[in-house]
């Protein structure tokens, strides 16, 4: 189960989190996660193939390139990661028996009210119908989800990384691929604005981490938001042009 906090600014999100965070006695999956002080992660991972989400238009690619430049300002190592296992976890949620409960609750309404639901929503719900669940491709979903969870945990541990970053645009048919793996893999996330990909087209990114490392999301998210809300400049005298000092300044990401 996910609990979301939506705010216009970063720190109100933390304040609300302090108020509502607790173990839910009615939720068997709920657990108590100690609150830790925000901190920056040791490194950031980005998908090795952005096209794994959806067809990327040039205007969206522009937003991604701008965001990649902002990440340099954080002065953290950035590495790529194979996201196929994460995408597979998302598929278990949306293309397998986990949606059966949704169909049992809403199936009657869908059947009696043709066209009332969005086509993509109806398609997902119908995949939870009994005749679909009995198909061979739905065998052992719980076992598969456990395997993926163990495998994903190994990614974080073996590569000594703390935070994962995901590019996303709020698009109904593709959003599940970039966010909902976290439901099965015991992860948490924070979405932050990343400027605009084009005129009147807001762009954003999501930071993900293991649930016990949510303090790293606050640290990374806060640093990123602060970076895009300010212009970093450096002044280098003409007499130092071409010197190691100028190269050092440029490597830190400011405009000269």
Mind listing the pLDDT tens digit for each residue in 227-244? Answer: 777 666 677 777 777 778
As given in the structure block, the two tokens for residue 107 are 């199936």
| Structural contact between residues 234 and 256, judged by C-beta atoms closer than 8 angstroms | yes
Rounded distance between C-alpha atoms, residue 135 and residue 143, angstroms = 16
As given in the structure block, the two tokens for residue 194 are 């990343």
Range of lowest pLDDT (36-40, 191-195, 237-241)? 237-241
Interval 143-155: pLDDT, tens: 455 555 544 444 4
Rounded distance between C-alpha atoms, residue 160 and residue 43, angstroms = 8
Residue scoring higher pLDDT (167 or 237): 237
What are the boundaries of each domain within the chain?
Answer: 42-251
As given in the structure block, the two tokens for residue 191 are 């979405």
Interval 102-115: pLDDT, tens: 677 777 887 888 88
pLDDT at 40 over 80: yes
Rounded distance between C-alpha atoms, residue 178 and residue 168, angstroms = 7
Q: Is 85 exposed, middle or buried (0-12, 13-18, 19+ CB in 10 A)?
A: middle
Q: Is 8 left (phi over 0), alpha (psi -120 to 50) or beta?
A: alpha
By C-alpha distance, which of 65, 4, 40, 246 is closest to 163? Answer: 40
What is the rounded average pLDDT of the residues 74-92? 75
User: What burial letters (b/e) apply to 170-180, b meaning 16+ CB within 10 Å?
Assistant: eeeebebbbbb
In DSSP terms, which residues pair with 11 in a beta bridge? none
Q: Homologous superfamily of 42-251 in CATH?
A: Amidase signature (AS) domain (3.90.1300.10)
* pLDDT, position 141: 47
Residue scoring higher pLDDT (158 or 185): 185
């Amino acid at each position: 189960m996910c609990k979301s906090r939506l705010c216009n600014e970063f720190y109100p999100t933390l304040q609300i989190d302090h108020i509502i965070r607790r173990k839910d006695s009615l939720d068997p999956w709920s657990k108590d996660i100690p609150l830790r002080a925000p901190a920056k992660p040791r490194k950031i991972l980005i998908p090795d193939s952005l096209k794994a989400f959806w067809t990327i238009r040039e205007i969206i690619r522009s937003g991604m390139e701008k965001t990649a430049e902002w990440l340099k300002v954080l002065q953290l190592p950035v590495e790529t990661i194979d996201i196929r296992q994460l995408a597979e976890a998302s598929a278990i949620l949306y293309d397998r028996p986990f949606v059966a409960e949704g169909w049992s609750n809403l199936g009657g309404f869908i059947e009696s009210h043709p066209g009332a639901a969005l086509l993509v929503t109806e398609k997902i719900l119908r995949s939870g119908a009994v005749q679909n669940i009995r198909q061979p491709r739905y065998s052992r979903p719980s076992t598969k989800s456990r395997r993926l969870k163990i495998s994903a945990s190994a990614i974080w541990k073996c590569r000594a990384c703390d935070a994962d970053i995901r590019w996303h645009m709020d698009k109904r048919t593709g959003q599940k691929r970039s966010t909902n793996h976290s439901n099965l893999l015991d992860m948490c996330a924070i979405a932050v604005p990343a400027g605009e990909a084009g005129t009147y087209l807001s762009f954003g990114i999501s930071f993900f981490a293991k649930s016990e490392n949510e303090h790293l999301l606050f640290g990374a998210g806060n640093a990123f938001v602060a970076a895009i809300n300010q212009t970093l400049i450096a002044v280098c005298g003409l007499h130092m042009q071409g010197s190691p000092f100028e190269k050092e300044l440029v490597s830190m990401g400011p405009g000269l």
